[in-house]
Amino acid sequence: MSITISSAFDSGNIRVVKQDGAAIDLEIVADHMSDFYQWFHFRLAGAAGQEVTLRITNCAGSAYPHGWPDYKARVSHDREEWVLAENTSYADGVLTIRLTPSSDVVWLAYFAPYSMERHHDLVSSFAQIEGVGYRSLGKSLDGQDIDCLTIGEGPLTAWIYARQHPGESMAEWFMEGALEKLADPDDPVARALRKAVTFHLVPNMNPDGSKRGHLRTNAVGVNLNREWHAPSAEKSPEVLCVRNAMDAQAPDFAMDIHGDEAIPANFLAGFEGIPSLTERQTRLFKLFSDTLERLCPDFQTAQGYEVPAPGQANMSMSTTQLAERYGCLSMTLEMPFKDNFDMPDPLYGWSPERSKYLAHHCLGALHAILSDLKA
């Protein structure tokens, strides 16, 4: 039996360039109508007991070439447990993965995938819970619903939304963790939060890109996190419908969930360069960030993005647009593809489970600053 590669499934992405037995050269496919690529997800079949050498040869031209050094691919035999492919190396624009699969069907991905099937399971299971509301905010260009779950009955309004960039699958694992925490009937933090806050959670803002195996864009190659100043029904209905819903229920607190290819740490990005920045917003952002750092050993504030100069914010991004539009506390959370190198896990790296725990801690930090947020 010969070795085969396939990616014709939910969030699949790879192209075989050349195959010589167990030595296979691959390329990641760019997002439809876009130049961005970095997400890969494919199945390797028929290689039980054989050493296979997989070379992804177009890494130098990917969206984040700095994402590849010190990165390890994820591999799974059962599509439940995703471990680091230990023998991953990067040199001269080529990511090489060597492995000897223990069975004939094995899966590889840039990060543990979060499929649209799992998304539907998530939304259905939480929609059944007493006290959790469901609504569709609108449709994607491919006709998928933009699902929103509502929980809590407090006077404050929080929006937590994820996966504008579909290849950042850790973002939806985070949302699963946030929902589990918030819906827990016995958790005292969740009980206090539900009393003080009404939460609107959008677990996946970009279902089309997710299904198509995109890194960064929707069905027509649009980066949704550059559309918030002027979303349109033609190019970015996903943003338009969420922003309209936010206009109707303006956030006091907003969190946009992402993954970062290059930086091996969890960090927040804020809204420092917006035109109408207030002292209150600056103080609340620092308070939340410091509180999260105290609560969560996986979170830090030393590494992150460069802070824009006053007035220099990019207003097309959700975090800045919401901070300006509503005067709220707004932030982007970035999780690593590599790992948190201050606290590495040699088996899993950064993982779905750790993304969920980070969500729990973010909600703990929100709880800890509630009295400041109300003031």
Catalytic residues, by residue number, are 334
Looking at residue 216, the DSSP 8-state letter turns out to be S
Q: Choose the binding region for Zn ion from 134-142, 153-161, 165-173, 316-324 (rule: CB under 5 A).
A: 165-173
CB 168, min distance to Zn ion, A: 5
Query: With respect to Zn ion, which residue has the nearer C-beta, 126 or 299?
Result: 299
Query: With respect to Zn ion, which residue has the nearer C-beta, 255 or 373?
Result: 255
Query: With respect to Zn ion, which residue has the nearer C-beta, 43 or 258?
Result: 258
Asked if 39 contacts 8 with a C-beta cutoff of 8 angstroms, the reply is: no
Query: With respect to Zn ion, which residue has the nearer C-beta, 27 or 261?
Result: 261
* Phi-psi domain of 293 (left: phi exceeds 0; alpha: psi -120 through 50; beta: other): alpha
If one asks whether residue 163 binds Zn ion (CB under 5 A), the answer comes out as no
Q: Choose the binding region for Zn ion from 13-21, 62-70, 164-172, 337-345 (rule: CB under 5 A).
A: 164-172
Q: Where are the beta strands (DSSP E) in 273-328?
A: none
Task: Kindly write out the interface string for residues 206-245 of this chain, putting x where it contacts Zn ion by CB under 5 A and - elsewhere.
Answer: ----------------------------------------
Tell me which residue of 113, 121, 68, 60 sits closest to 90, measured CA to CA: 68
Tell me which residue of 62, 66, 172, 54 sits closest to 108, measured CA to CA: 54
Task: Kindly write out the interface string for residues 167-206 of this chain, putting x where it contacts Zn ion by CB under 5 A and - elsewhere.
Answer: -x--------------------------------------
Tell me which residue of 229, 173, 219 sits closest to 33, measured CA to CA: 219
If one asks whether residue 258 binds Zn ion (CB under 5 A), the answer comes out as yes
Number of residues that bind Zn ion (CB under 5 A): 3
Asked if 135 contacts 150 with a C-beta cutoff of 8 angstroms, the reply is: yes
If one asks whether residue 165 binds Zn ion (CB under 5 A), the answer comes out as yes
Q: Choose the binding region for Zn ion from 163-171, 230-238, 297-305, 321-329 (rule: CB under 5 A).
A: 163-171
Asked if 295 contacts 361 with a C-beta cutoff of 8 angstroms, the reply is: yes
Q: H-helix or E-strand containing 123?
A: helix 116-127
CB 258, min distance to Zn ion, A: 3
Looking at residue 244, the DSSP 8-state letter turns out to be H
Residue 305 neighbours by CB distance under 10 Å: 13
> Which phi and psi (to 5°) does residue 119 adopt?
-55, -45
Binding residues (CB under 5 A) for Zn ion: these are 165, 168, 258
